[in-house]
Amino acid sequence: MTIHHDSDALPRDRQAGVCLHISSLPGHYGIGEIGDEARRFVDEMVRMNLRVWQFLPTGPTGYGDSPYQPLSTFAGNEMFIELANLIRFGLVTSTEADSLLKLSRKSVDFGALIPKKLALLERAASRFDSQARSTTRGNYDSFVEKHNDAWLHDYALFRILKSKHGEKPWTEWEPKYVHREAKALKHIADEFGREIEYLKIIQFIFFRQWDQLKEYANGRGVTMFGDMPIYIALDSADAWANPEILNIDNDGMPESVAGVPPDYFSEDGQLWGNPLYDWDYHAKTGYEWWVSRFRQSLGLVDIVRIDHFRALEAYWAIPFNSDTARNGEWRLGPGDALLEAIRSDLGKLPFVAEDLGYITPEVDALRDRHSLPGMRVLQFDLADPHFDAGRIPECSACYTGTHDNDTTVGWFHGSPDDQRSAEEIRATQRMALEKTGGQEESIHTDVIKLALASNARLAIIPLQDFLGCGSEARFNMPGTVGGNWRWRFRKQDLSRATMDAVALMVEESGRAGGG
């Protein structure tokens, strides 16, 4: 086994970054978009000496609006398309876009947003042929030629059939569509040819806008840090079009599903419900699907966080129809074979391992053999009386908290949804104040400074912590459905004074260098 000593993911110098999902950007049309406001945020990052922008998965969301349950692992979330750009190109009128102006700017109302914005995007796509210049059309044809056989056509078919079946999961569709009978699929492709074309155009627009954002960010010295869910959703184009990659039967039903045993977030564990992979199949194909998946991701971002990395060593398999995640068992994952296959094809592994939860020496060894940085989360560490911030390894990314944690202010003071007892919260408060040397009123900046002062080559701070937000700004409560993924910030929230204070903290920590 080859041992790799230098990380492909971490910068050579100590850097600081921010975690903010695209949906949380400010803007007029109900959700953050990948246009002017995203570029403005890049400029604000530069002012704050932050050189890494981390965000959550960018696929189209399905069940529970979770970025970790996308309808496709390859497609882009059309809700992130910037409408102002479409208005400038005459594909949508400002009057048409006004229908979204009444939506909240403080949070995302997915139920109200999605049907309205999809209707606008379909209208834009209907005008694409007549109004797009020939050079743009040529780019579109190249986009379709590159992606159509790999995922694009199946994704468009999936969305059409899902709509035709009242948005039900594909396992509940008519059997001829569940089993992908060639005659039935051809009939749908012929009957809904125009609508399928619109969906492909919308994906083209997303990727064109994304490429422009990445080019702008990289040009300003900002690294784009993406996130890959380890599992795919059962109700996804991937599962429907490629059932052989999963342990599911001919009707799409799994024997066992994914989750984790009881942990910090839940005494019953977390029952995610994702289908598990047929690792024997992947091994026989040289992990071809996985290599394609990582190649696609690295075309969009510079670094990828592998969510739930520990499943590559061993994963928790829960019998289908279980009420909780307690009744599961550990099964061996692909381990070195998968990572070596990816390295063989792509030449490098610019990945950060999300190695949180129940981590064994075997998981640590797998991560270290491939020189993958792990994660350190101070909200977890500061509750440990034996924690020493000076011992955080250099080959790691240090966080105050993640998208699954409460904000640092909310974590410190506790909230109505807190799983900890009042005594546990007080004990954590005492240790946090002792180990940061800070005060209650400045706890968020004190924990930020601790992360920035660490040896970790990369320190990532959620924007909510830079802003000193309380539990009202929490992004996700693991194990719950509804009310998550909604928080947004407004332009006025990120004041000049705040930006200057962040810039000074980063500079004083020695993380503002030129890279």
Query: Considering only CA atoms, which of 272, 391, 280 is closest in space to residue 331?
Result: 280
**Which single residue is written with the structure tokens 């990395």?**
309
| Total count of residues recorded for the chain | 515
**Is 456 within 8 Å of 392 (Cβ atoms)?**
yes
Q: Residue 478: its pLDDT value, please?
A: 84
**Is 204 within 8 Å of 129 (Cβ atoms)?**
no
Positions marked catalytic: 307, 354, 404
Query: Considering only CA atoms, which of 374, 383, 511 is closest in space to residue 447?
Result: 383
Give the H or E element holding residue 41: helix 36-47
Residue 20 has pLDDT above 70, yes or no: yes
Q: What is the mean pLDDT of residues 262-271?
A: 79
Compute the distance between CA of residue 460 and CA of residue 466 in angstroms, rounded to an integer.
11
Compute the distance between CA of residue 315 and CA of residue 308 in angstroms, rounded to an integer.
9
pLDDT band at 2 (very low <50, low <70, confident <90, very high): very low
Compute the distance between CA of residue 260 and CA of residue 2 in angstroms, rounded to an integer.
30
**Is 436 within 8 Å of 450 (Cβ atoms)?**
yes
Alpha-helix runs per DSSP H in 263-335 = 279-284, 288-298
Residues 330-345 pLDDT 10s: 999 999 999 999 999 9
Q: What is the mean pLDDT of the chain?
A: 94
Give the H or E element holding residue 97: helix 94-97
DSSP-assigned beta bridge partners for residue 331: 315
Q: Residue 263: its pLDDT value, please?
A: 73
**Is 463 within 8 Å of 400 (Cβ atoms)?**
no
Cα dihedral: 402, 55, 290, 59 (round 10): 120
Q: Residue 149: its pLDDT value, please?
A: 94
Phi, psi of 336 (to 5 degrees): -60, -35
Collect all residues with Cβ–Cβ distance below 8 Å to 182 and sequence separation of at least 6: none
Q: Residue 267: its pLDDT value, please?
A: 81
Compute the distance between CA of residue 350 and CA of residue 63 in angstroms, rounded to an integer.
29
Q: What is the mean pLDDT of residues 457-464?
A: 98
DSSP-assigned beta bridge partners for residue 223: 52
Residues 128-160 pLDDT 10s: 976 564 456 679 999 999 999 999 999 999 999
What pTM does this model have? 0.95
Residues 405-419 pLDDT 10s: 999 999 999 988 888
Compute the distance between CA of residue 440 and CA of residue 469 in angstroms, rounded to an integer.
14
**Is 37 within 8 Å of 69 (Cβ atoms)?**
no
Q: Residue 6: its pLDDT value, please?
A: 75
Amino acid identity, residue 213?
L
Ramachandran region of residue 76, left (φ > 0), alpha (ψ -120 to 50) or beta?
Answer: beta
**Which single residue is written with the structure tokens 């520990």?**
310
Strand ranges (DSSP E) for 48-178? 52-54
Q: Residue 266: its pLDDT value, please?
A: 74
Q: Residue 268: its pLDDT value, please?
A: 85
Q: What percent of the chain has pLDDT over 70?
A: 97
Collect all residues with Cβ–Cβ distance below 8 Å to 272 and sequence separation of at least 6: 231, 257, 258, 259, 260
Compute the distance between CA of residue 325 and CA of residue 370 in angstroms, rounded to an integer.
30
Q: Residue 364, exposed/middle/buried by CB under 10 A (0-12, 13-18, 19+)? A: middle
> What is the CA 34 to chain-centroid distance, rounded?
15
Residues 346-380 pLDDT 10s: 999 999 999 998 899 999 999 999 999 999 999 99
Q: What percent of the chain has pLDDT over 90?
A: 89
175, 183, 219, 273, 307 from 223: Cα distances, Å: 45, 46, 9, 33, 19
Taking only Cα atoms into account, the Rg of the chain, rounded to an integer number of angstroms, comes to 23
Q: Residue 133: its pLDDT value, please?
A: 47
Q: Got the DSSP string for 167-221?
A: T--GGGS-HHHHTT-HHHHHHHHHHTHHHHHHHHHHHHHHHHHHHHHHHHHHHTT
SS3 9: coil
Domain ranges of the chain: 242-372
Compute the distance between CA of residue 501 and CA of residue 39 in angstroms, rounded to an integer.
21
Phi, psi of 450 (to 5 degrees): -65, -40
Query: Considering only CA atoms, which of 373, 443, 470, 295 is closest in space to residue 15?
Result: 373
**Is 268 within 8 Å of 316 (Cβ atoms)?**
no
DSSP-assigned beta bridge partners for residue 16: 459
Residue 22 has pLDDT above 90, yes or no: yes
Q: Residue 130: its pLDDT value, please?
A: 60
